[in-house]
Chain A
């Protein structure tokens, strides 16, 4: 199969990789680029464990072909924390015990980042609706929703850079 050279901006860095036309962004992130923070839970867009932000839009990277990201900007969970430490979403997930096993956590962190980028002051109902694309089997979502709402408050007081 002929391969394609793709150039994209991933977590703020210019990256070039070679992929086959049928490879998903998820495969390339995990296997070619070594960014294993993005998880594979279902491979068909139903669990959100592979969420990344593509040019400002929350996507399931298992449903995006790697060649599609040419010239675009991708943010994975590895790109959420800033140079000075954890993002408030990550900090609030820890303080609220919003993870148990942690496999869905990267997807939730990325999805929550996209939510708060779009809607800095979500209601509980809005947060639940936005996060309904992410499955968590451990927590019952209670502490996740609280963590996201708490992060929104922190960001409101002092927006993260």
Chain B
């Protein structure tokens, strides 16, 4: 099972747990599994059927480019972090 790091602001939903073992073949399935265990967490990570635009998925230290479809395996460590535009980026703005 992949090891998912729960963002600090969502740990209220996981009883303070910061790392959770989750089963799933893709990032989307990991979120589905989290939602089963911690109802409401999906809405915090996703906007409709996609990841919130200001959230990036980092798998083993490398940013995923395939969003919810990104495959994961049992040895992966998965982080949901602010989508730092790696560089110069348009300062990423939130939808209001």
Direct touch of chains A and B (CB < 8 A): no
Residues of A within 8 A of B (CB): none
